[in-house]
Amino acid sequence: MENLFKQSNVLETISFVVGPSPATVHSITYDSRKVTTNSCFICIKGQHVDGHQYIDSAIKNGAQVIVGSEKELMMDWYFKRPDRTFVVVHDSKKALASFASAFYQNKHKELALTGITGTNGKTTITAYIRSLINALGEPTASIGTAGVWDQYGKVNVETTTPTTPESSDLYTLFDQLRENKTTHVAMEATSIALEQGRLHGLQFDIAVHSNLRPEHLDFHNTMEHYRNAKLKLFQQANKAVVNLDDAGMSAAIINSFQGELWTYSIEQEATVMAQKLQTQQSGTSFDLIVHGKRYSVMAPIFGEHNVANLLAAVTTCMVKGYAIEEIIRCFPLVKGAPGRFQLLTDYPGRQLIFDFAHSPFAFEKLFHTIKPFSYKRLILLIAGIGVRPSYLRPEIAKAVEGKADEIVVTVDHPGDEDPETVMADVISGFINKPEHLHLVGERGEAIQKALSLADEGDLILITGICMENYQIVKGKRLPYDDLKHIHLFLEQDTKTTSA
């Protein structure tokens, strides 16, 4: 792009420029390995890596423009390579967002953006919004933990962060989605992404709040800091959707938000409410109350928490101008995200459920959700997460103690940890070590172990990463698929039965 440095949102990030007049920029990246001829390389500082350390690599790969915030270092490099353009900025993270926005000619402004934040429920709310608005006739995409999905299905893109992409990756996605005729995007906005400026410069049509509970305190240190990070989304939004049942954050949003505000609730008076919930094998029926008018509805979802998530999506659709009668007609088409209380039907004679539960609160909701199900025994797989703080692992065992007939313990994303150590941390949380406890360090083998323990009529709960297609091992993302291991077991089981 020739006029990149003439854009006002780019100019306001720049302190000064040295070197030849910036050449035409062909790409923007913060990863020196992805630099090509005439790239603009932006040095951002992460938790563990500083992009300024890779300037040499970026130049060798063809970077013509180098952007960074370390003034003295940038000047040193200018004296070494006066044939390159060096741009000193006030904040590299904000510069990355502004440069990427300008590079793609602000295409994101052609999309209606909805941001969803909260500790639990973001992924499911995002999926519900995408499926509802698509059913209502508007091509809609979603971005988050479950990956990128557009109106046609899952989009094959490289993920660089667990949930909310880095800003330049995000603007690349926006450009691709716009080219694909997408008009609406629902995306997860994590507290870390908001704090790190990945969403800098975006203005959301709607900001949606789910709830606030202790999490990511290894990054935020305090609940106040965690809450304030999430509140930043509402400073970048025109309208807000708030869960009145959440004491952690709802009041803070209501007291500070200046725009149009809508509410939803199961427990108290709100714009959109749900009452008389009844769970069945096919889903949940309830009374939906909108502006005081009552509708008897049925949706293919399970659990009170998912009814709350659906209320968030319904309220969002109403904020967008859709009539409640239109929205209700689309309820049979509501789809959750993979791995969020996902019922699998490939295992005859047994009930098999995937769920992302990996915290005490999530397990509490999960056990409550399966109460209406009929089954003989409960087979439960739980996982300690190697790349997260070790103090979280025993809490998983405490949350599930006494809840299952068989418990299989494994490891998600071992990282640099020894799987045996991770599993030992998990089981240290049991007050009384279960009699039927199985430790299997490799997740795929653990899934097959859980399946092998089940008899006809049993319910198998596979918890943890579920829908992710990789495992982080020794700093590398290794391909992985839960479903592959289920199919392998079924194939072997069929052969054994036939023999």
Here the CATH number for the domain that contains residue 454 is 3.90.190.20
Q: For 189-195, what is the mean pLDDT?
A: 92
376 annotated as a binding-site residue: no
The neighbour count for residue 329, using CB atoms within 10 Å, is 12
pLDDT value at position 46?
A: 79
Residues 388 and 463 in one domain: yes
pTM of the shown model: 0.85
Residues 86 and 188 in one domain: no
3 annotated as a binding-site residue: no
123 annotated as a binding-site residue: yes
Residues 126 and 199 in one domain: yes
Q: Who wins on pLDDT, 109 or 495? A: 109
**Final residue in a domain of this structure, among 103, 124, 157:** 103
Report residue 330's pLDDT band, with 50, 70 and 90 as the boundaries.
very high
The CATH number linked to 13 is: 3.40.1390.10
Which tens digits make up the pLDDT trace of 426-454?
Answer: 999 999 999 999 999 999 999 999 999 99
Q: CB–CB of 470/478 below 8 Å?
A: yes
The boundaries of the domain holding residue 395 are: 342-498
124 annotated as a binding-site residue: yes
Residue 195 has pLDDT above 70, yes or no: yes
Q: CB–CB of 462/485 below 8 Å?
A: no
Residues 210 and 326 in one domain: yes
pLDDT value at position 159?
A: 73
Cβ burial, residue 10 (10 Å; 0-12/13-18/19+) = buried
Residues 448 and 369 in one domain: yes
Percent of the chain's residues with pLDDT above 70: 96
182 annotated as a binding-site residue: no
Residues 196 and 275 in one domain: yes
pLDDT value at position 467?
A: 67
* Radius of gyration of the chain, Cα coordinates, nearest whole angstrom: 24
Residues 348 and 480 in one domain: yes
Q: Who wins on pLDDT, 216 or 126? A: 126
Residue 216 has pLDDT above 90, yes or no: no
121 annotated as a binding-site residue: yes
Q: For 38-62, what is the mean pLDDT?
A: 93
32 annotated as a binding-site residue: yes
345 annotated as a binding-site residue: no
Report residue 348's pLDDT band, with 50, 70 and 90 as the boundaries.
confident
Which tens digits make up the pLDDT trace of 396-406?
Answer: 999 999 999 99
The CATH number linked to 111 is: 3.40.1190.10
Number of domains in the chain: 3
Residues 299 and 222 in one domain: yes
Residues 287 and 360 in one domain: no
User: How far is it, in rounded angstroms, from Cα 52 to Cα 55?
Assistant: 6
Q: Inter-axis angle of helices 393-400 and 360-369, to 10 degrees?
A: 30
Q: CB–CB of 341/306 below 8 Å?
A: yes
**Final residue in a domain of this structure, among 307, 333, 359:** 333
Which tens digits make up the pLDDT trace of 267-317?
Answer: 999 999 999 999 887 899 999 999 989 999 999 999 899 999 999 999 999
Q: Any alpha helices (H) in 281-331, and if so which ranges?
A: 304-319, 324-329
Looking at every residue in the chain, the average pLDDT score rounds to 91
145 annotated as a binding-site residue: no
Q: CB–CB of 367/342 below 8 Å?
A: no
pLDDT value at position 172?
A: 93
Residues 285 and 396 in one domain: no
Q: For 420-424, what is the mean pLDDT?
A: 96
**Final residue in a domain of this structure, among 300, 333, 366:** 333
Secondary structure element (H or E) that encloses residue 165, with its range: none
Report residue 318's pLDDT band, with 50, 70 and 90 as the boundaries.
very high
Residues 182 and 319 in one domain: yes
51 annotated as a binding-site residue: no
Report residue 34's pLDDT band, with 50, 70 and 90 as the boundaries.
very high
pLDDT value at position 496?
A: 57
pLDDT value at position 117?
A: 96
pLDDT value at position 362?
A: 87
198 annotated as a binding-site residue: yes
Residues 94 and 29 in one domain: yes
Dihedrals phi, psi of 430, to nearest 5 degrees? -70, 130
Q: For 470-490, what is the mean pLDDT?
A: 86
Residue 36 has pLDDT above 70, yes or no: yes
Handedness of CA 347, 120, 128, 477 (dihedral sign): negative
Which tens digits make up the pLDDT trace of 147-191?
Answer: 899 999 999 887 777 688 899 999 999 999 999 999 999 999 999
